[in-house]
């Protein structure tokens, strides 16, 4: 059966593989995306989003690849110092690509998003909400001991 969505653990595994393969490489060029696949070189004009990515990312070296918290977000750091940019790939429902500057202010993005209930805004010229990311929590042995009986009861109910 083909997997329909990536979990946080899948993203962590992919980040580890990417880190080994692309650190230190330079971005040669960026091409537009169609709904299904990357477009090869063509005579069509690239979108404004693609042009903005080319402007900020072309010829930059990949300095870091990391997963943001335990969310399904991957950050590629291109360049270093105050001239660095961060390309953030959000692998949620429809996905998103966000380009930020070194201070994580959004330069351009594929899809704007606003969640008034949580106070989140992901739009151009706004700071990227790094504080809203889910961080990994350390689990103490006492917490595992307390959760074990509930897990055993659940498994018994399900007949596992």
Strands of 13-136 (E only): list them: 62-67, 73-78, 85-90, 96-100, 106-109, 113-115, 120-122
Q: Do the domain assignments include residue 72? A: yes
The pLDDT, as a whole number, for residue 28 is: 92
Name the token pair of 30. Answer: 């960026």
Q: Do the domain assignments include residue 128? A: yes
- Reduced to 3 states (helix: H, G, I; strand: E, B; else coil), residue 83 is helix
**Segments in the chain forming alpha helices (H):** 8-22, 48-57, 141-158
pTM: 0.75
Q: Do the domain assignments include residue 46? A: yes
Q: Do the domain assignments include residue 1? A: no
156 has pLDDT over 70: no
Q: Do the domain assignments include residue 91? A: yes
Q: Do the domain assignments include residue 146? A: yes
Q: Do the domain assignments include residue 122? A: yes
Give the domain range for residue 139: 8-158
Q: Do the domain assignments include residue 41? A: yes
14-49 pLDDT per residue, tens = 999 999 999 999 999 888 766 444 455 555 778 888
Residues of the chain above pLDDT 70, percent:
79
86-126 pLDDT per residue, tens = 999 988 777 888 899 999 999 988 887 777 676 676 777 87
The pLDDT, as a whole number, for residue 125 is: 84
10 has pLDDT over 70: yes
Q: What CATH number has the domain bearing residue 143?
A: 2.30.310.10
Residue showing tokens 């704007």: 112
Per the structure, how many domains does the chain have?
1
């Amino acid at each position: 059966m083909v997997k329909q969505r990536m979990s946080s653990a899948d993203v962590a595994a992919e980040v580890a593989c990417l880190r080994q393969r692309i650190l230190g490489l330079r971005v040669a060029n960026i091409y537009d995306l169609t709904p299904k696949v990357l477009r090869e070189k063509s005579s069509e004009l690239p979108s404004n989003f693609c042009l903005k990515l080319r402007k900020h990312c072309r010829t930059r070296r990949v300095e870091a690849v990391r997963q943001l918290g335990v969310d399904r977000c991957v950050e590629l750091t291109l360049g270093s110092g105050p001239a660095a940019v961060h390309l953030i790939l959000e692998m949620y429902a429809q996905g998103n690509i966000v380009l930020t500057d070194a201070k994580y202010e959004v330069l351009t993005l594929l899809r704007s998003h606003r969640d008034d209930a949580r106070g989140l805004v992901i739009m151009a010229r706004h700071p990227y909400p790094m504080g809203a990311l889910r961080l990994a929590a350390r689990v103490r042995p006492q917490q595992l001991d307390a959760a074990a009986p509930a897990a055993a009861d659940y498994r018994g109910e399900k007949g596992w």
